[in-house]
Structure 1
């Protein structure tokens, strides 16, 4: 547990198998700039060059990891496609209870993010008020969600309907943002005022924070002003993340889900060669065109 006066301790748990993505140097740069937050990665991808001390990679094969999950959950979890691991996110606190011992909060998320100043967003005061923190307004944010590290929260996934069957079936079902979200929020298709009333009557909703962080450009959620005019460039300056639409506002992270699946597939692999050097600079930018140095930034 955190010492008196210290920020509550947080550990992200992320299983990832196959090959590290080309943007990993920038993911690690964001982690390095948040030295009081830890990341625990389970992977067969090998060592991470220039890995900061708050990121720990536990080497394990995909088969061995699935064996561990199966034993802990009492199911046969051996999906052919590692993408099924996304459905495990709500259960990761329970699966990795031993590694998470002593932390105030555990978290699940993805690697397709660049972190800004997480402590400026998830302040001690903010974390003291709720038990679950989603960066979406109407569902759990599967790419970044923080939960209090108690047995009740680690075991909350047991409340998902048919969790055992749905985890064991091998198909990706989006349980993190679907079935797990419905523990907190239901009837989203009702008129807004009536739906929100039902949410407030749910004790689990009252124990959670659902606040849109506006950090996934070009996705379903509109921008801060309600438009589809999203920032084109995001700027990382010594751990502080801004963009070309809201230069005076810092964001906790940028989630480049859409760029990764659309624009970045057209990038030439040779452009990645300089990424490790750029990621070590005090400032850089990310856009649909990938990552680039940020000159005259400081």
Structure 2
């Protein structure tokens, strides 16, 4: 059973992109297809392909395939179109049994360890979130029925044409999928979480270095490491959506990829944070709490401004 994951991405590649690509490389039985206006990486990976693409070209293609005008200006709105990818990009999907969509703020483990042939044979939609559709990983069987499932949602055209984001791929499509599952017109696999959410773990660092090289990737396998013992649980992927502003360092690039690395909220590195010099750890520690202090101070200032009129307190 062949799987392809589609990503539309505009702007600049994130700093962790080399780690993302390396984790894709070690999933040779899954393909990724990027539509992007970013520079195409010089290093070629067999199962990752790039198609130069602009938001204008997306508007033209989506308008043609959906048969109504699309004129997006904000890249984030593209996420609402994810359930439509099977129709919009149908020419690229002919050789695949399943297509899906995913995010870029992810490090992959072994996908096919968790998404087995038995699951693929018996289900039409597969989500990584328990009883929810998942923007960062949902698979659709490549059939005309599932590829046009979005049309089952009332007012779908108005939602897709609006500049407002409706979380169409998750919130809006969930009741559609639930209804069709109850009617036995669709088989859905979403019994459990197949991932780790980084934001479920405390982000507070420890000066002593205990903070959180909690996730470890090595040659395609991704582990969540126990804090007080050596137990490691293999996971399908890590989604670090709340770390985008703090994860600002990757110790390798596409031309010199690493075969193993640790993942924390501020870096992806070949070495554990506990092995960093003490002054480096102190710097991260101080920066973290300085940012927290500034955030709290600004928040209090905003509250005070709302309570006290700008012209000051009136004298009696």
Q: Same fold (TM over 0.5)?
A: yes
Q: How far apart are residue 245 of structure 1 and its match?
A: 3.1
Query: Do the aligned partners of residues 279 and 290 (structure 1) sit closer, same or farther apart at CA in structure 2, a change above 3 Å counting?
Result: farther
Counterpart in 2 of 1:123?
116
Query: 2-side partners of 1:276 and 1:25: how far apart?
Result: 5
1:137 to 102, 105, 130: 130
Query: Do the aligned partners of residues 216 and 149 (structure 1) sit closer, same or farther apart at CA in structure 2, a change above 3 Å counting?
Result: same
Query: 2-side partners of 1:183 and 1:50: how far apart?
Result: 41
TM-score (norm 2): 0.76
Q: How far apart are residue 279 of structure 1 and its match?
A: 6.9
Counterpart in 1 of 2:158?
165
1:250 to 234, 241, 247: 234
Query: 1-side partners of 2:148 and 2:121: how far apart?
Result: 20
Q: How far apart are residue 278 of structure 1 and its match?
A: 9.8
Counterpart in 2 of 1:239?
220
Q: How far apart are residue 277 of structure 1 and its match?
A: 6.7
Query: 2-side partners of 1:18 and 1:127: how far apart?
Result: 34
Task: Give the secondary structure class of the aligned counterpart of 2:244.
Answer: helix
Counterpart in 2 of 1:276?
253
Counterpart in 2 of 1:291?
268
The structure that is helix-richer by fraction is: 2
1:226-281 Cα offsets, whole Å, 9 max, x none, are xxxx97621001100001239432111111111225x33xx4xxx44x33179722
1:125-176 Cα offsets, whole Å, 9 max, x none, are 1211211101111210110111111111111111122110000011111111
Task: Give the secondary structure class of the aligned counterpart of 1:79.
Answer: coil
Counterpart in 1 of 2:196?
215
**RMSD across aligned positions (CA):** 2.3
2:173 to 168, 176, 180: 180
> Does the CA-based 8 Å contact 2:181-2:188 persist in structure 1?
no
Task: Give the secondary structure class of the aligned counterpart of 1:15.
Answer: strand
> Aligned pair count?
259
Query: Do the aligned partners of residues 29 and 67 (structure 1) sit closer, same or farther apart at CA in structure 2, a change above 3 Å counting?
Result: same
2:149 to 148, 156, 168: 156
TM-score (norm 1): 0.81
Q: Which residues of structure 2 form unaligned runs of 5+? A: 202-210, 273-316
Query: Do the aligned partners of residues 40 and 62 (structure 1) sit closer, same or farther apart at CA in structure 2, a change above 3 Å counting?
Result: same
1:177-224 Cα offsets, whole Å, 9 max, x none, are 1111111237xxxxxxxxxxxx973425x600112124212249xxxx
Query: Do the aligned partners of residues 236 and 106 (structure 1) sit closer, same or farther apart at CA in structure 2, a change above 3 Å counting?
Result: same
Counterpart in 2 of 1:71?
64
> Does the CA-based 8 Å contact 2:77-2:163 persist in structure 1?
yes
Query: Do the aligned partners of residues 143 and 32 (structure 1) sit closer, same or farther apart at CA in structure 2, a change above 3 Å counting?
Result: same
> Does the CA-based 8 Å contact 2:195-2:236 persist in structure 1?
no
Query: 1-side partners of 2:243 and 2:80: how far apart?
Result: 22
Task: Give the secondary structure class of the aligned counterpart of 2:77.
Answer: helix
Q: Which residues of structure 1 form unaligned runs of 5+? A: 1-7, 187-198, 221-229
